[in-house]
Chains A and B, each alone.
Chain A
Amino acid sequence: MAGLPRVTHVFLRIIRYATVWVLWKARNNCIFQNAVFSPDGLLEKVKLNSFLWLKANQASFNYSYHDWWKRPIPCMDAHL
């Protein structure tokens, strides 16, 4: 992480928040919908959430969901 450029840190932070957000939503789903917890699909949700947040709030983020899904690190070079 220390070796990565500064702009990358913002992306990593977004991913981190997406992760705690997804975990909390999963926990709520277990408690309030009586769902059985399964870690499958959570990673997908982290990718989708972080992508949608960036797409909506970061004008310079021009990558497709496929790019982000497959190779997120190159997408992080966008200028903030």
Chain B
Amino acid sequence: MNKECRVEEMWSMGWGDGGEAWVWRRRLLAWEEESLRECTILLSNIVLQDDVIDSWRWLLDLTSGNTVKGAYRLFTTIGEPLDRSLVVDVWYKQIPSKVSMFAWRLFWNRLPTKDNLLYRRVISPENVACVSGCGHPKTANHLFLDCMLFSSLWYQVW
């Protein structure tokens, strides 16, 4: 009922199951009851403290707070398993960032190779052949490793 009610007032009235903080203008619908139950569970172990100032906390790292490094670590340690050494190796100060970004996309198979374009329906199936004319559909592995024309460079480099 009271939309202007403050969190502190809600808390002192009691926001547990059947607490006085919950006053409604009409009977709640079944799904609303459900939401309310979830809400009271979330609030059940929250205690307000007078002498502590509100602040944001980064739960993954309470001491140094939110950092790009911490978020990067979060995103690179969950998800598809792949060779970790490759991921870490992408960022080197000697390599231009566009190339690092390119290598990163390559390792995650996020380059717009023809197989990926087909998968996202950018091109039609008759256009997937490798540009070298070798007849294989072009995947990242094919382009960089298998295709005879392209991969000949690796032997020259080494």
Contact = CB atoms under 8 A, between A and B. Distances in A.
Interface residues of B, number: 24
Q: Which has the most chain B C-beta neighbours within 10 Å: A23, A26, A27, A46?
A: A27
Contacts of A46: 153, 157
A17 B99 contact: yes
Interface in B104-139: 106, 111, 131-133
Given A37-B149, A43-B156, A43-B157, A20 B94 contact: no
Interface of B is mostly: helix
Contacts of B103: 17, 20
Q: How large is the interface on A (under 10, 10 to 19, 20 to 34, 35 or more residues)?
A: 20 to 34
A42 B153 contact: yes
A5 interface: no
Interface string B74-110: 0000000000000001001111100110110010000
A39 B92 contact: no
Given A14-B94, A39-B152, A46-B157, A20 B102 contact: yes
Query: Which 8 pairs, one residue from A and one from B, show the smallest C-beta to C-beta distance?
Result: A30-B131, A57-B94, A43-B156, A42-B153, A39-B152, A37-B132, A21-B99, A58-B94
Interface of A: 10, 13-15, 17-24, 26-27, 30-31, 37, 39, 42-43, 46, 53-54, 57-58
